[in-house]
Structure 1
Amino acid sequence: MEITTRSIRSLAYRCEEFLDDRGEPLSIGYSGSLALCILDAIYSTGSHPTAVDNVADRYIARRGRADGAKSLRYSIAAAGGAEVWARKVIRNLKPANVQPGAMLRAEVVDRATRLMADHDIDTVDDLLAAVGDEPSTGRHANEVARGWWALPSQKSGISWRNLLMLAGSDHFEIDHRVQGYIGEVAGFFVVTTDDYVLELIDATADFLGVEGRVVKQIVWQVSHRRLLPDPKRESFVFPYGLEDELEPEAEGWDSVFDRELCAEAVDRNSTLGPEEDLGSDWMTPYSRPGTTGAAPF
Structure 2
Amino acid sequence: MEIRTRSIRSLAYRCEEFLGESGKPRSIGYPNSLGLCILDALYMTGSHPTAIDNVVERYTARHGGTDGAKSLRYSIAAAGGPEQWAREVICNLKPAHTQPGAMLRAEVVDRATRVMADHGIDTVDDLLAAVGDEPSTGRNANEVARAWRELPSQKSGISWRALLMLAGSDHFEIDYRVKGFFGMPFGSFPRMTDDEVLELISATADYLDVEIRVVKQIVWQISYRRLRPDPKRKELNLPYPLDDELDEEPEWWPGRYDSRARHGADEWASAR
| TM-score when normalising by structure 2 | 0.91
Determine the C-alpha separation between the residues in 1 that align with 2:220 and 2:266: 22
Which stretch shows the higher mean deviation, 253-262 or 227-236?
253-262
2:241 is aligned to 240
Shift of 1:129: 0.3
Verify the 8 A CA contact 1:4 1:243 in the aligned structure 2. Answer: no
1:201 is aligned to 201
Shift of 1:249: 3.8
2:183 match: secondary structure? helix
Which stretch shows the higher mean deviation, 215-224 or 177-186?
177-186
Unaligned ranges ≥5, structure 2? none
Tell me which amino acid in the other structure corresponds to 1:254. R
Verify the 8 A CA contact 2:96 2:105 in the aligned structure 1. Answer: yes
Shift of 1:184: 3.1
Inter-CA distance 240–71: structure 2 relative to 1 (3 Å threshold) = same
Determine the C-alpha separation between the residues in 2 that align with 1:185 and 1:90: 38
C-alpha distance after superposition, 1:180-222 (max 9, x if no partner): 1012331156612101110000000010001100000000000
1:233 match: secondary structure? coil
Verify the 8 A CA contact 2:205 2:211 in the aligned structure 1. Answer: yes
Determine the C-alpha separation between the residues in 1 that align with 2:71 and 2:85: 13
C-alpha distance after superposition, 1:218-249 (max 9, x if no partner): 00000100000001227545441788231114
Inter-CA distance 69–212: structure 2 relative to 1 (3 Å threshold) = same
Shift of 1:260: 10
Inter-CA distance 83–261: structure 2 relative to 1 (3 Å threshold) = closer
| TM-score when normalising by structure 1 | 0.84
Shift of 1:137: 1.2
* Moved >3 Å (runs of 4+): 234-239, 255-263
Verify the 8 A CA contact 2:179 2:189 in the aligned structure 1. Answer: no
Inter-CA distance 170–29: structure 2 relative to 1 (3 Å threshold) = same
Determine the C-alpha separation between the residues in 1 that align with 2:170 and 2:271: 32
Unaligned ranges ≥5, structure 1? 264-297
Tell me which amino acid in the other structure corresponds to 1:210. V
Shift of 1:162: 0.1
Inter-CA distance 139–260: structure 2 relative to 1 (3 Å threshold) = closer
1:224 is aligned to 224
User: Is 1:250 aligned to 2:257, yes or no?
Assistant: yes
Number of aligned residues: 263
1:55 is aligned to 55
Verify the 8 A CA contact 1:206 1:253 in the aligned structure 2. Answer: no
Verify the 8 A CA contact 2:13 2:236 in the aligned structure 1. Answer: no
2:17 is aligned to 17
Q: What percent of counterpart residues are identical?
A: 70
Tell me which amino acid in the other structure corresponds to 2:204. T
Inter-CA distance 253–218: structure 2 relative to 1 (3 Å threshold) = farther
Tell me which amino acid in the other structure corresponds to 2:173. E
Shift of 1:166: 0.2
Determine the C-alpha separation between the residues in 2 that align with 1:89 and 1:66: 16
1:8 is aligned to 8
- Alignment of structure 1 residues 43-192 onto 2, 5 Å: 43-187=43-187, 191-192=191-192
